[in-house]
Structures are given as C-alpha cells and as structure tokens.
Amino acid sequence: MTTAAVTADGRRTKAKPATMAQALGRALRDSMAEDPTVHVLGEDVGTLGGVFRITDGLAKEFGDDRCTDTPLAEAGILGAAVGMAMYGLRPVVEMQFDAFAYPAFEQLMSHVAKMRNRTGGAMPLPITVRVPYGGGIGGVEHHSDSSEAYYMATPGLHVVTPATVEDAYGLLRESIASDDPVIFLEPKRLYWSKADWSPEAPAPVEPIGKAVVRRSGRGATLITYGPSLPVCMEAAEAAVAEGWDLEVVDLRSLVPFDDETVAASVRRTGRAVVVHESPGFGGPGGEIAARITERCFHHLEAPVLRVAGFDIPYPPPMLERHHLPGVDRVLDAVARLQWEADS
C-alpha cells in the first residue's frame, strides 16, 4: 500500500513502506548533508555500515573522515567525541549494542553529562549517542539490555527513544540538532518494523521532550515507549472485546519527561499502567508512577500499576519471551485496575 505525501514545496511524492532502520540511516544522511560539522563514529560504522546497517553508505558518500571506523574501545570513542565537540563538531556515536556502552559510562557520567554545567555554560557538548537497546531479537547475553534507567538518572543527558518509523527519523534529526548530549535509544526489535513513509516529506516532529497520544480512550492510560509501544497498541485493541477503552501514550522522550501530556491523559482516564521491558525495580516505571501519583492523586480510581521486565539479568534467548511484557501481561494489569469500584 502506498499513500501520497506532500513535500514542503508542494510536490506530491509516493510514500513507500520503509523500515525504522532505513529511516534512521536517512536521518543520519540528511543531517550530515545539511551540516558539515556532523560526524559519525563508532565500531564497524564505515565499510560495513554498522552491524544493523544503519550507517550503510555514509562512509562512501561522506568519506572516512565524516563516518569513521574507530578502534574497538567505547570509552575512547565517546571520549574522542567529547574532544571533537569541544572543537565545534557534532559527533554522532554508535554504541554497537546496549551492554557494549558500559565501558563508556565514566566518560558519559563524568564528562558528557556534566561539561555544560562544569564550565558554567561555556562548553556545551552536542553529542548524540545512538544505543541499539532492548531484547526480543534472540540475541545472546549482553546484547539485549534495557539501560534507560541509568541514563535517566544522570542529569545533563537527554534520553530519547522512538517507537515509530516517522519518529525514528524526526527524533534523530532533532537529537543531532540539539546543543545538548542525547542518548538516543533505538529499539532493536523495531528496526525492521515498517510504515509508509516518504523521506522527501517526513512528518514534522516537535522538539524532543513531547509525548504523544497514539490511541485515544476514556477508561485507562497505558504509558509506554520504544519497544513496548506495539505491545500496548495491540493490547488496547484486544481490550475492546473486554469492554475496556484504553488510551496509549508514547513518551518518546524520557528526559525531559512530558508530565503535562501524561498527567492530562491520566486525569481524563483515572487509571494508568506503565509498560516497559527494562527491570521494574528502580526502573523508569517507578519514577513515572510516582510523578502521576503526585499530580493526579485525586483523579485516580486505582493505584498506578507497572508491567515491566523481571528483576533479572536479561535472560537467554530461548527464555526471553517469558521475560518481555506481552499483551497478556498488559491486559492482566488492566484487569486489576479496580474497574468494579468505578461502576
């Protein structure tokens, strides 16, 4: 199926099915073409085009100096990116897999997140760190972590995660254009998800920090992001048969957090379930539930519930389906939202 899209100058173009991976690659390409200070660096991002092929063709189009295969050292990659940003470049770093980013944590915590603050605003660091994250692709250990809670807990970083093809493009463009460091979390299992999308006329995306209501409903709000959005959308459709009218909020940005959109939704519905696949204990869901409770206590018909991954190291691939929050687990939580008390 194709649909027509209209470009900014009024031309009609055909939208074709595109994957999230293609949209991300296109965002990198367009950012590099527009701004010569944008540099991509990481492991295997050059000749190979990245292990997920997100950077495919960039080295060929822009040269090795703009899309650079680095030595295999994450702290060194991010540390070098800091220096590059200090000299006026806009580095986009690829961390090959979520758990491979951990060696770079000191650079991230001690420098990337703090440089603007340490220097009284004199030295902002416009660095984008792309981290393919999350499970569901049958990866072996250290290839499926959901590390967003660590980044969220570090002031100075923006934490952004798209769930749709359009947002993958728009949010990555916004992240690269940001004058602050952005941890750009790419949900691996959505890399091959498709949508009709025209790179010539991408849907406008608001500046990072805005959540969006993906499905309207009056009964309860599912609050989610990244890899769990399709799960929640499916659960909301399935819930109709049970007589539950669910709203789905896609956060898109964990830092800044869009309290306004979330609270407005929960005030309308009176019930909320936060869904994510990272471990629940100390995870994003606890923070989100607390924020909702503080803002919407008198509107709540039930406690805010969380559906999260288990509090375990990411399991081996043959067991991951038990760990990842699925439609049934989301619906079970919805069923526990004290509907009787409402009737």
Partner 1 sequence: MTVQELPGAAAYRPTPPPAWKPITDPAPLLPDPEPYRVLGTDAVADVDPELLLRLHAELVRGRRYNAQATALTKQGRLAVYPSSTGQEACEIAAALVLEERDWLFPSYRDTLAAVARGLDPVEALTLLRGDRHTGYDPREHRIAPLCTPLATQLPHAVGLAHAARLKGDDVVALAMVGDGGTSEGDFHEALNFAAVWKAPVVFFVQNNGFAISVPLAKQTAAPSLAHKAVGYGMPGRLVDGNDAAAVHQVLSEAVARARRGEGPTLVEAVTYRMEAHTNADDATRYRVDSEVEAWKAHDPVRLLEHELTGRGLLDDEGIAQAKEAAEHMAAALRDRMNADPELTPMDLFTHVYAEQTSQLREQAAGLRAELDAEQDHDEHGAEAGR
| Residues designated as active site | 143
Q: Considering the rule CB under 8 A, would residue 252 count as an interface residue with partner 1?
A: no
Please report how many Cα atoms fall inside a 13 Å half-sphere around the Cα of residue 288, on the Cβ side: 37
CB 229 within 8 A of CB 248: yes
CA angle (205, 97, 65) in 5-degree steps:
75
Please identify, among the stretches 2-10, 103-111, 242-250, 317-325, the one whose residues bind partner 1 according to the rule CB under 8 A. 103-111
Footprint on residues 39-68 left by partner 1 (CB under 8 A)? 39, 65
Backbone angles phi, psi at 5, to 5 degrees: -130, 155
Q: Which is nearer to partner 1, 82 or 274 (CB)?
A: 82
Give the nearest distance from C-beta 48 to partner 1 in angstroms.
Answer: 17
Token pair belonging to 185: 């979390």
276 is a site residue for partner 1 (CB under 8 A): no
Kindly indicate which of the ranges 121-129, 168-176, 228-236, 331-339 contains the residues binding partner 1, using the contact rule CB under 8 A. Answer: 121-129
Distance between CA 233 and CA 220 in Å, rounded? Answer: 13
Q: Judged by CB under 8 A, how many residues of this single chain contact partner 1? A: 49
Q: Is 35 in the site for partner 1 (CB under 8 A)?
A: no
DSSP 183: E
Q: Which is nearer to partner 1, 141 or 260 (CB)?
A: 260
Q: Is 75 in the site for partner 1 (CB under 8 A)?
A: yes
The nearest distance, CB 217 to partner 1, in angstroms, is 25
Give residue 169's Cα distance to chain centre. Answer: 12
Nearest CA to 226 out of 188, 262, 280, 265 is that of: 188
Selected binder of partner 1 within 106, 311, 328, 342 (CB under 8 A):
106
Q: How far is CA 333 from CA 49, 244, 304, 305, in A?
A: 41, 12, 10, 7
Backbone dihedral angles phi then psi of residue 76, each to the nearest 5 degrees: -65, -40
Contact call for residue 211 and partner 1 (CB under 8 A): no
Among 3, 7, 47, 117, binds partner 1 (CB under 8 A): 117
Number of residues that make up the chain: 343
Residues interacting with partner 1, by CB under 8 A?
A: 39, 65, 70-71, 73, 75-76, 78-89, 91, 103, 106-107, 110-111, 114-124, 155-156, 158, 178-180, 209, 255-260
